[in-house]
Amino acid sequence: MAKEIFMPKLSSTMAEGTVIEWFKDEGDTVETGEPILEIMTDKINIEVESYHDGVLLKKYYETDDVVPVNQVIGYIGDSGEDVPDTPPEQASGDTDDTEQNSDASSENTETDVRKDSKDDTGAENTQSRIGKVPATPSARALARNNDVDIKDVTGSGRNGRIHREDVAEYINSIKDEKQSPKTAETAAAGQPETVKTSKLKGAQKVTADRMLDSRNTIPHVTMDFEVSMGRLIELRKTLNDNTDDIKISFNDLFTAAVSAALKKHPDINITYQNNEIHHHESVNIGIAVASGSELFVPVIKNAGQRGLSSISEESKKIIRQIKDKNFTEGLMSDGTFTISNLGMYNIKQFTPIINKPQAAILGIGGMYDVVDLVDDKCVKVKKSTLSLSFDHRVINGAPAAAFCDTVKELVENPVKLLL
């Protein structure tokens, strides 16, 4: 009897997954434990393994299709078995009940899922232990068919895992190198230049879709305010000069200031979903982190209960996990407010986009010199411009402005963060 392949439910908050790549075509033989496709949920790529031996009889969804959890996405069985031409309708009722039904049908859907190179305990899988280059079966096949050494390809997946698109781009780059003299001659002759294109995919596509959805569905209002950075600079230098264990960053100090301000203004520490405002006791700060061309927002949980050193340690830990692409879905869940810091660049100010379902986000620009009047004297001081974007459906201008005033007060008098 043919066995269903389900879109697995990997967390209590997961509602859907995106098909990234099928490793098998219809009619291909499948063995138990063999990866059959890769999916993405909340910016994390996960391989789905087969729990049965047989033949891939049907796959209902293709690359970039978004599928609800526990929906049948394909069938495995004996060659020639009849399966529906269209995916069966998902059972009605509570999601948890559906998940239990799907687990019963597949004998244990969650066992079909394997992280790219590490299990939940952090132990490396067999493939990594023997030194084999991590790559999907379709990537290996494409490399083999084009006489490409898979070791020469740079992987874009988790822990450097190589996908079919990575091999295709490598092959194209080789072709471009070989054709570059000809291309130059063509351009000189007035012929149109060949433009390389790439498809938005994976984490980039998920982020793009969410940014568009946020911008189109939330009435953003942005307030810009200027803060003097002198005392914050002095405090950071004093702290770092007096400890060897951990170094405090400006982002750590801003996180502490924002956390304290949110505790004072709980009407900003909210999320908005399904026409309901959720007021959170815990202050969970999301930190926007760029990793290559991808954007992630890991969350410092209970930031409002942490001291500066704890915030700094946790921040460095989660950013390292993002850079190493060694993280789980839980790292980016339960955020109540986000900080996006571009202070390390020559950006004076910018308008950040709200990270749904949160109701506000703070953008931090770089420092710049201005001439200010201090004690009736003109002096050069360091300043930064901060920008609060908020959801005007659930946050009004007055409480948003009061929150900005508190952040400004804490940044300009940072010793209060130590009290």
Q: What is the pLDDT of residue 406?
A: 98
- For residues 17 and 341, which has the higher predicted lDDT (pLDDT)? 341
Q: Are 360 and 268 in contact (CB under 8 A)?
A: yes
**Residue that finishes a domain, picked among 52, 81, 115:** 115
Please state the φ and ψ torsions of residue 379, each to the nearest 5 degrees: -135, 155
Measured between alpha carbons, how far is 270 from 359 in angstroms, rounded to an integer? 6
* pLDDT at residue number 167: 85
pLDDT: is 110 or 356 the higher one?
356
183 pLDDT above the threshold of 80: no
Percent of the chain with pLDDT over 90: 46
Strands 377-391 vs 220-228: parallel, antiparallel or unpaired: antiparallel
- In the structure encoding, which two tokens stand for residue 341, read together? 């810091």
| Residue 276 shares a structural domain with residue 373 | yes
Query: Which two three-digit tokens encode residue 198?
Result: 């790439």
Average pLDDT of span 162-182: 73
Asked, for residue 178, whether it belongs to a domain, the answer is: no
- Same-domain check for residues 396 and 271: yes
Structure tokens at 270: 């909210």
> Quick one: pLDDT at residue 42?
63
pLDDT more than 70, % of the chain: 83
Q: Is the pLDDT of residue 98 over 50?
A: no
Which of 97, 115, 133 is the C-terminal boundary of a domain? 115
Q: Are residues 95 and 244 in the same domain?
A: no
Query: What average pLDDT score do residues 4-29 get?
Result: 85
Q: Are residues 218 and 86 in the same domain?
A: no
Report how far residue 81's alpha carbon sits from residue 157's, in angstroms, rounded to the nearest whole number. 35
Q: Is 300 among the domain residues? A: yes
DSSP-assigned letter for residue 303: G
Tell me 124's DSSP state: B
CATH number assigned to the domain comprising residue 17: 2.40.50.100
Mean pLDDT, rounded, of the chain: 83
Find the range with the poorest average confidence among 9-13, 86-90, 222-226, 228-232: 9-13
280 shares a domain with 390: yes
Q: What Rg do the C-alpha atoms of the chain give, in angstroms?
A: 25
CB burial string 353-365: b at 16+ within 10 A, e below: bbbbbbbbbbbbb
CB–CB of 254/341 below 8 Å?
yes
pLDDT-wise least confident of 12-26, 285-299, 334-348, 397-411: 12-26
Which CATH number is 371's domain given?
3.30.559.10
147 within domain boundaries: no
Predicted TM-score (pTM) of the model is 0.65
Using one digit for the tens of pLDDT, what is the confidence trace for 279-334? 999 999 999 998 877 888 999 999 999 999 999 999 999 999 888 878 877 888 89
Q: Is residue 377 in a domain?
A: yes
Residues 233 and 102 in one domain: no
With respect to residue 8, please indicate whether it lies within any of the assigned structural domains: yes
pLDDT band at residue 175 under the 50/70/90 scheme: low
pLDDT above 60 for 118:
no
Q: What is the DSSP letter of 294?
A: E
Looking at the structure, tell me whether residues 207 and 352 fall in a common domain. yes
Q: Do 100 and 213 fall into the same domain?
A: no
pLDDT at 224: 97
99 has pLDDT over 70: no
β-strand pairing of 29-30 with 16-22 = unpaired
Assess if residue 224 is contained within a domain. Answer: yes
Residue 270, phi then psi, degrees to nearest 5: -135, 160
Q: Are residues 221 and 324 in the same domain?
A: yes
Residue range 267-286: mean pLDDT, rounded: 96
Total number of domains in the chain:
2
| Reported confidence tier of residue 187, pLDDT bands at 50, 70, 90 | low
Domain boundary among 100, 115, 130: 115
- Same structural domain for residues 105 and 219? no
Mean pLDDT over residues 198-216, rounded? 82
DSSP bridge pairs for 47:
38, 114
65, part of any domain: yes
State whether 222 and 332 are in the same domain: yes
Domain that holds residue 207: 203-418
The answer to whether residue 243 scores a pLDDT higher than 80 is yes
| CA pair distance 414, 133, nearest whole angstrom | 48
Same domain, 381 and 240: yes
Residue at 181 is within a domain: no
